[in-house]
Structure 1
Amino acid sequence: MPRRIRTAVFNSELAVRLQAVSGPEPIAALNRVKERECGEPLVDIRKHCPGVCVSRKCLPYLRKTVAEKLSQAQEALPPGYKLHVTTALRTKEAQQALFDKYFAELTEKHPDWSYATRRRQTCRFFAPHDQPAPPGHCTGAAVDVHLLLPSGKKAELRKPLTGWKSARSLATGLSERAVRNREILFVAMLAAGFSNCAEEFWHFSYGDAGWAVRIGEPECVYGWVSLSQ
């Protein structure tokens, strides 16, 4: 008989703090955010964020202020723990490819669905590239982060849930270990000034349209950006 995993609930004070900077971010709300692009440059987080681990497949660039906040979050972690960045900057072409690929998969799997339904379902998982508000990763303001233990191993953040069932930041039914590790991650990132996507516990941003919608700001300071700028 498999070992039964004990589940836990999140610290109530942290849950309230998280909910204050995390919430629904419908496309219409994102498009209403006024963009005041500040022109801040991108920096290489491999050099700018000592102590932070960066995935080999990651395009390792963020806006300078966002990178500084990532370093602050790293410093706020308990001794030995490290942030592991899996996605930082994403080009518009890469974003479009991800969106189009999933849309095509839905078209093949559900040929009876209308175009609107397929697009709506695709937008649940991939931010559209053809709206006024650019996807967070395409602004250099969003970062996907996980947690590494002092041993160097990946911290447990999902069990016993799997896939998208484990994606919500305050998902219920997580093991005690997963809740504890998520709290370590959330506390550090929130302390640095990031907001969190309620549907993706790993996704944080500062200064983009998503950040603005989550915290109730009418304006954002980062828009489309590319390495050639």
Structure 2
Amino acid sequence: MVPVSEASEKIHIYPYYFLNGLPGAENECYLRKEVLEKLLEASQLLPEGISFVILDGWRSYETQRAIYDQTKRDLENEGFTGMELEQELYKYVATPTKDITNPSPHLSGGAVDLTIADQQGWLPMGSEFDEFHERSQLDWFEKKADLSSEETEFLNNRRVLKNVMLKVGFISNAEEWWHFEYATKAWAQKKGKQEYFKGILYQEIER
């Protein structure tokens, strides 16, 4: 894997889970080299003055477990139980695993969580990162009628992010506007490919 922070002036990092004190998280974002190359391609398609902000890339098992457990607690506090709880969890958080042959997307180094920004800051997307609500669905504002001017801004910002990422070969996540994958198991299934990235339990960093 490679660090993202110095890859391009059009790519910045905000290592969300490190900054929020989650176990196993680091003060950097890491991706597979091939994934970063695709991200660099996508950054060149962004409008003038717009850049990427990378929130998360490769994720350790410990960090994935912490996110999973916290999300489960949050959903339980909202009243979800039993099968309904499991279904809601599956929408938003992959089950933690150390099985490198069937990894969660972030454990493979092939998934990236990101948003876009201008010189004034992050552009509004209509929900926050890791806000597990139906309005975080990628096409939520596409399906709404009679959008307000603010909602139209959310829609356009999501379109910018989605369009540049899909154009260079990433796949999107219908439930999370911020999540994209390249050469993961889900990507291979969607693209009809046989090969995909296996998991990375421990970092091997290229400089």
TM-score w.r.t. length of structure 2? 0.77
Q: Residue 70 of structure 1 aligns to a residue in which SS?
A: helix
Q: Residue 176 of structure 2 aligns to a residue in which SS?
A: coil
Counterpart residue number, 2:174:
198
Please say if 1:65 is aligned against 2:65: no
The 10-residue stretch of structure 1 (57-66 or 123-132) with the greater mean CA deviation from structure 2: 123-132
Q: Distance in 2 between matches of 1:106 and 1:183?
A: 29
Equivalent residue for 2:52, pick from 83, 87, 95? 83
Letter matched to residue 48 of structure 1: A
Larger radius of gyration: 1
Counterparts of residues 10-89 of structure 1 (less than 5 Å): 42-57=1-16, 59-89=28-58
The 10-residue stretch of structure 1 (131-140 or 65-74) with the greater mean CA deviation from structure 2: 131-140
| Stretches of structure 1 lacking an aligned partner (at least 5 in a row) | 1-41
| Stretches of structure 2 lacking an aligned partner (at least 5 in a row) | 18-27
Deviations 1:195-223 (A, max 9, x none): 101111110010001212333x2534201
Q: Residue 10 of structure 2 aligns to a residue in which SS?
A: coil
Check the 8 A contact 1:49/1:70 in 2, yes or no. Answer: no
Deviations 1:158-196 (A, max 9, x none): 17xx86132111113352111111121122111221110
Please say if 1:126 is aligned against 2:101: no
Letter matched to residue 2 of structure 2: V
Q: Distance in 2 between matches of 1:106 and 1:184?
A: 31
The 10-residue stretch of structure 1 (122-131 or 79-88) with the greater mean CA deviation from structure 2: 122-131
Counterpart residue number, 2:114:
145
Higher relative contact order (CA 8 A, sep 6+): 1
How much does 1:121 deviate? 3.0
Letter matched to residue 63 of structure 2: A
Equivalent residue for 2:125, pick from 144, 147, 157? 157
Counterpart residue number, 1:219:
194
TM-score w.r.t. length of structure 1? 0.70
Check the 8 A contact 2:134/2:175 in 1, yes or no. Answer: no
Q: Distance in 1 between matches of 2:190 and 2:177?
A: 14
The percentage of counterpart residues that share the same residue type is 24
Counterpart residue number, 2:160:
184
Question: RMSD of the alignment, in Å?
Answer: 2.5
Deviations 1:82-110 (A, max 9, x none): 01111111101111122123334555665
How much does 1:154 deviate? 1.5
Q: Which stretches of structure 1, 4 residues or more, deviate above 4 A after TM superposition?
A: 104-111
